[in-house]
Amino acid sequence: MAIRKRFINPFADKLSSKDQSAADADIETPNDQKSPSEKLQETDRSSSDDEIVDQNAQSGTQKAQASTRAWTKKTLIAAYILMWIVSFLQDFSSGMLGVLSPYVYSDFQLHSLTGLTLVIASLISALIKFPYAKLMDIWGRPQAFALGIGSLTLGLVMMAACKNVQTYCAAQVFYQIGFSCVDFSMTIFIADTTALRNRAFWIAYAASPYLITPWIYGYASDKILAPGGIGYRWGFGVFAIVMPVVSTPLWALWYYVEKKAQKMDLLEKKSSGRTLWQSIVHYLVEFDVIGLLIVTTGFSLFLLAFNLYSYQAQQWKSPMIICFIIIGFLLIITFTLWERYLAPVKFMPWELIKNRTVFFTFAMVNSLYLAWYIWDNYFLSLLQVLFDQSVQNATYISNIYTIGSTFWCIIFGAILRYNGRIKWWAVCFGVPLTILGVGLMIKFRQPDSSIGYIVMCQIFVAFGGGTLVICEQMTVMAVSLQRNIPAVLAMEGVVSGIGSSIGGTVAVAMWTGIFPAKLKEFLPASAQVDFAGIYGSLETQQSYERGSPVRNAIDHAYGETQRLMLITATCIYLITWTSCFLWKNIDVRKMKQQVHGVHF
């Protein structure tokens, strides 16, 4: 969950020992007395954070630091306008993808795979952020941004041309990788060019296109899917053309400012002195390719077992499922040992995690996203079947969260300039309102409930979630040095991605385990022969007349399944609440971070 249901903001950074000691720095202590860790932070900041370019940093990081002095007010304003346009198109394409995907799977008679693909895409797009952040540090911000756009565009092209569900699943992975990397690039750009007290507002600004796009893509999706419409393939194809064209000006401006910084002699030109083979080995080590392969394979096998078990004749007793669980679990343990004791370049910023506020923010984020994806994964389908809403209306209702949270984030970002106590906003407002909204849906997501109650619950969740998504980012940034922000945001992104993947896995496991059993139980005997077609196709479910015995059975199965998913999610939110209580009482108005050059 996030402002855009995917606001996962990450980066990775190789920490020197001096960085690591600074990362342990806490916030102010009573009576203005500084703790030893704060003195370390001040010492480190005076030596490095005040320098325009850290000569010990990697090439891409140095370019970014130098670029902060090359921005003018006009070029910075232009960059933020272009960033908003790219964000607008990203949100538009993402929204349409969410609406069209169930119909793609239904076209292949595999509607129940909707959640499975999301699990895989969320996991890989989260884990890829560490090497992507390293790429930014080594190569540069605009260069990495171009790769993100390339991956996103490739995914859209594959979606438009797919001939089977396997190709479409792969396309979703490429799209989500590109999407998260582009979003990630824009988030770190905001962190580089804003003061801490203003940062929440500008993060909300970057998400503000979601105040507009739901009203557009709901209508557009309806027209695409309507008889005589262009169809979902051209729906994807249009964005495959538009996205790279519109993103090029932002990339060009970033690249221009980087070159301008080089001409200003802010960067010292260095030669690596490595041969081609030495460079290949060097970058394989820097990107921790071994660790990346181990953890990706481990989590993929472990989580896929819970998604695929219902498709096996022996289900949990299937040898394949047992092997997936055992091998996946062992690989996850292997990754932890590799990273802790053997990896020459750490994939995870262990020292940063030791900070109490950072650790419990990660715990809060993981549980928040886990719970969200348990109850939200099949929400759009539920609106269309159980509440008999059109694609357009279902899209509007499902986006109450994104519209409401974005609206509230802008207001909340401005409030933090004057009342910066993040902890109590989360503890007293964000989490309780989220629990209230999700808890009430246990009662109201049933066949005999009015759609108005669902709208009310979504509004509660929107304002609660909008508070939490700002708090989760501002908390970890506030306790970190400016140059360490990529590392903590990277870890936050991975934690939220893993939470999303586990939540999606639980949702798929519950859906594929409970819904077909309930459907078979409630279907009249005359419709049992059509069970497979009803279970596998959203359009078939909608084709039965409201009030008919078959439709009542389908609605009843939806309601029973959703009730159990909502109860599970509500219980997990208690972990979210407890974690927020354990944060330190940070006031972002009093936290200082050095931002050079022109900034907001």
Tell me: the pLDDT tens digits for 551-572? 889 988 988 898 999 999 999 9
Residue 364 has pLDDT above 90, yes or no: yes
| Torsion on CA atoms 354, 358, 363, 366, rounded to nearest 10 | -120
* Residue linked to tokens 């940063």: 352
The shares of helix, strand and coil residues in the chain, as percent rounded to the nearest 5, are 80, 0, 20
In angstroms and rounded to an integer, the radius of gyration of the C-alpha atoms of the chain is 24
Rounded to an integer, what is the distance from CA 324 to the centroid of its chain? 25
pLDDT band, residue 46 (cuts 50/70/90): very low
Count of C-beta atoms within a 10 Å radius of residue 380: 22
The answer to whether the CB of 408 falls within 8 A of the CB of 466 is yes
Backbone angles phi, psi at 157, to 5 degrees: -65, -45
Q: Which residue has the higher pLDDT, 543 or 227?
A: 543
* Residue linked to tokens 């950072």: 358
- What is the structure's pLDDT at 93? 87
Report the predicted TM-score, pTM, of the whole model to 2 decimal places: 0.77
Q: What is the rounded distance in angstroms from the CA atom of residue 543 to the CA atom of residue 421?
A: 52
| Torsion on CA atoms 150, 151, 156, 161, rounded to nearest 10 | 100
User: pLDDT tens digit string along 392-443?
Assistant: 788 788 889 888 999 998 999 889 888 878 888 999 999 999 999 999 999 8
Q: What is the rounded distance in angstroms from the CA atom of residue 510 to the CA atom of residue 345?
A: 39
Percentage, residues of the chain above pLDDT 70: 83
Tokens of 590: 């009093």
Q: What is the rounded distance in angstroms from the CA atom of residue 20 to the CA atom of residue 14?
A: 10
- What is the structure's pLDDT at 576? 95
- What is the structure's pLDDT at 453? 92
Q: What is the rounded distance in angstroms from the CA atom of residue 91 to the CA atom of residue 97?
A: 10
Residue 219 has pLDDT above 90, yes or no: no
- What is the structure's pLDDT at 591? 64
What's the rounded mean pLDDT across residues 534-547?
84
Residue 297 has pLDDT above 80, yes or no: yes
- Mean pLDDT (the chain) is 80
Q: What is the rounded distance in angstroms from the CA atom of residue 427 to the CA atom of residue 198?
A: 22
Q: What is the rounded distance in angstroms from the CA atom of residue 185 to the CA atom of residue 15?
A: 20
| Residue 414 one-letter amino acid | A
Helices and strands (H, E) in the chain, number of each type: 26, 0
Among 26-35, 289-298, 410-419, 434-443, the minimum mean pLDDT is found in: 26-35
Count of C-beta atoms within a 10 Å radius of residue 157: 18
Q: What is the rounded distance in angstroms from the CA atom of residue 306 to the CA atom of residue 512?
A: 10
Q: What is the rounded distance in angstroms from the CA atom of residue 141 to the CA atom of residue 65?
A: 11
The answer to whether the CB of 193 falls within 8 A of the CB of 600 is yes
For residue 495, which of 303, 277, 348 has the smallest C-alpha distance? 348
- What is the structure's pLDDT at 5? 45
**Beta bridge partners of residue 421, listed in sequence order:** 587
DSSP 587: B
The answer to whether the CB of 151 falls within 8 A of the CB of 173 is no
What's the rounded mean pLDDT across residues 170-175?
88
Q: What is the rounded distance in angstroms from the CA atom of residue 412 to the CA atom of residue 200?
A: 8
- What is the structure's pLDDT at 242? 92
Among 184-188, 269-273, 351-355, 584-588, the minimum mean pLDDT is found in: 269-273
- What is the structure's pLDDT at 598? 52
pLDDT band, residue 360 (cuts 50/70/90): very high
Residue 50 has pLDDT above 60, yes or no: no
User: pLDDT tens digit string along 509-534?
Assistant: 888 889 899 999 888 888 888 888 88
| Torsion on CA atoms 499, 1, 378, 148, rounded to nearest 10 | -80
Residue 466 has pLDDT above 80, yes or no: yes
Four-residue CA torsion sign, 443, 447, 449, 452:
positive
For residue 402, which of 470, 319, 337, 458 has the smallest C-alpha distance? 458
What's the rounded mean pLDDT across residues 366-378?
90
For residue 447, which of 513, 531, 385, 536 has the smallest C-alpha distance? 385
pLDDT band, residue 292 (cuts 50/70/90): confident
Residue 462 has pLDDT above 90, yes or no: yes
pLDDT band, residue 148 (cuts 50/70/90): very high
| Residue 479 one-letter amino acid | V
- What is the structure's pLDDT at 488? 78
- Quickly list H helices, 418-482: 422-425, 431-444, 451-478
What's the rounded mean pLDDT across residues 373-391?
85
Percentage, residues of the chain above pLDDT 90: 21
- What is the structure's pLDDT at 579? 94
